[in-house]
Structure 1
């Protein structure tokens, strides 16, 4: 046990994940058959964390309704913003729940396996006011990039540098150890960005440090990254096998290709081909000769006979008629209806409750 509390920043709107984030917070998006927030809490549990605070705003009641007051061995508290306060403001608002020692902060849209025990030890040994998990990227031009000393002290972050001018390839990985002293640097009662306002101030104290992390890291801010996270996590937890929940019925001649997850009560028709890298949530129906690959299906989806879904994400209760074809990168909103024989080329997004009767040949959003 490390006897330290954790704060999960869970208040974002998930605007780049619309239309599916219009009806649920992204922390409840399924990854390998389980909501994203459960994977985050599992990492805290592995590191011995016994108490966590969820700082939320958007659809906060849905998160609390799913988790309740305890997840496995972790006691849960909720800090709800009346209006968005940013990453720093959310931390400040939750101050009363964090005690008077160090605490962990995790960005709720990051899937990773942060070495929290080691980060806490490093934080204490350096007498740091804040320790930031750093991740190495190939192209740092879209991120804030850390300028580091040999002792891993962070001098500054350079925002979106040109490739040849980046001080390193190490970026903010969305996991922090903060001393309670750091809270004194966050103004109360207004929106505050910890990345743009607080960390530069902490760097000037000489007590802002980095911890280089190498491992799984996904920023679930776009559907492409969301599907990549599902593929990687599914492959890891399934051991390259097929994971099947209770009450699944698979008809004759269906082909199941791992890694693949089939949720409770799912029905797979004759001759269907499912997987690899596919998660299918509860109570979904896949018709005869349906083909689904590299995709994520939410609950209660219906895929008609002879339909093909490739590299797509389909929202809860959506209905695909027979002989529908979805190209790479399609997103179908909750309860949308795609009629028989319709083809949607890659990159088409259909908003919730819409009805599509004709094929669409180029990327667009159907509102």
Structure 2
């Protein structure tokens, strides 16, 4: 089996961050979201991975190649994001008439895909799609299942949902999906929708099975989703201290990476402090990820993501914030009690 991981798109819901970086490279617990997908498919025994890229493709390629993965990785340029089914057609040569899993690179699953890959092999359908129960199915693509648990119909954001099973961004396919993708027409969004291609399989007598996701799943498409995913991942971290602490208090499950310095500060987990970062006279609270090479001084930060190279000095109290790379936040005339930011890369903010 091969894997097709999608890392294209413009990420408009994550602007201004995505003006300068690809959305799948935004870190959760100091790891690019895309890496979780790569790790999941490798864990499932897949060694042949194609990554579909679009805007910021060089950035994605450079970031992925910075790691020595236990797999062969090929990059496939999609160009304009014309739908998930279009991405499959673009990758047809790579797929080479083999079965594959398609994994949206901005999704994170707590328990990975090993169980679902085994189910695909065991049941041997033309497609197996991952589903999860949600509270508001009208916000998602929803699957209607028959009495045997097979997929009967897919409906995009139904006003009256036939079930509360929403599509997760992971799909297993046999090569017949290529024919399905060629047979459908663009939607009102002028995209070739994967839901239409799967529905084509069903309508033409092919078997589409469902596999229910156990544990949490998160689509990191919006700033609040990034923060929620960060909380979920940090809940499972194991404490580690490879840095230097001086006159500081470390409480709970905290990861301090190599070269980090904690001085005159309080760190309360779960949280992670990246390599070579400096935390001085500050408070880093639960569910916070501080990237590599950051400086935090005279500031309280809680429930936030701060990306690599950012400097935050005397900024009061920062909560529920998503702060890009190489951002500078420093004191000016005012000292607000609380601040909330979604700040793009290479920005400066005066308080």
Q: Same fold (TM over 0.5)?
A: yes
Within-5 A mapping of 1:1-367: 4-68=1-65, 71-113=68-110, 116-162=113-159, 165-187=160-182, 192-204=191-203, 205-238=205-238, 241-252=253-264, 254-270=265-281, 272-288=282-298, 290-305=299-314, 307-322=316-331, 325=336, 327=338, 329-339=340-350, 342=351
In the TM superposition, residue 192 of structure 1 has moved relative to its aligned partner by 4.3
Per mean C-alpha deviation after superposition, the further-off stretch among 214-223 and 114-123 is 114-123
Distance 1:238 1:69, change over 3 A: closer
Which 5+ residue runs of structure 2 have no aligned equivalent? 240-251
SS of residue in 1 equivalent to 2:51? strand
Conserved? CA contact 1:308–1:324, under 8 Å? no
In the TM superposition, residue 13 of structure 1 has moved relative to its aligned partner by 0.9
Kindly report the root-mean-square deviation, in angstroms, between the aligned alpha carbons of the 2 structures. Answer: 2.1
In the TM superposition, residue 207 of structure 1 has moved relative to its aligned partner by 1.1
SS of residue in 2 equivalent to 1:187? helix
Distance 1:331 1:306, change over 3 A: closer
Per mean C-alpha deviation after superposition, the further-off stretch among 69-78 and 29-38 is 69-78
In the TM superposition, residue 177 of structure 1 has moved relative to its aligned partner by 0.6
Conserved? CA contact 1:186–1:192, under 8 Å? no
TM-score (norm 1): 0.85
Larger RCO of the pair (alpha carbons < 8 Å, separation 6+):
2
Conserved? CA contact 2:4–2:101, under 8 Å? yes
Conserved? CA contact 2:237–2:270, under 8 Å? no
Q: Counterparts of 1:25 and 1:82 in 2: how far apart (Å)? A: 14
Which 5+ residue runs of structure 1 have no aligned equivalent? 343-367
SS of residue in 2 equivalent to 1:304? strand
TM-score (norm 2): 0.88
SS of residue in 1 equivalent to 2:9? coil
In the TM superposition, residue 193 of structure 1 has moved relative to its aligned partner by 2.8
Deviation digits for residues 70-126 of structure 1, max 9, x if unmatched? 742011001102332311111111111113331010011111146534333433444
Which structure 1 residue ranges, 4+ long, deviate > 4 Å from structure 2? 188-192, 323-329
Distance 1:338 1:179, change over 3 A: same
SS of residue in 1 equivalent to 2:314? coil
SS of residue in 2 equivalent to 1:13? coil
Q: Counterparts of 2:344 and 2:214 in 1: how far apart (Å)? A: 35
Quote the residue 2:246 is aligned against: none
Deviation digits for residues 196-220 of structure 1, max 9, x if unmatched? 4212211212412211112120011
SS of residue in 2 equivalent to 1:291? strand
Conserved? CA contact 2:318–2:340, under 8 Å? no
Q: Counterparts of 1:117 and 1:199 in 2: how far apart (Å)? A: 22
Q: Counterparts of 2:323 and 2:25 in 1: how far apart (Å)? A: 14
Q: Counterparts of 1:40 and 1:325 in 2: how far apart (Å)? A: 39
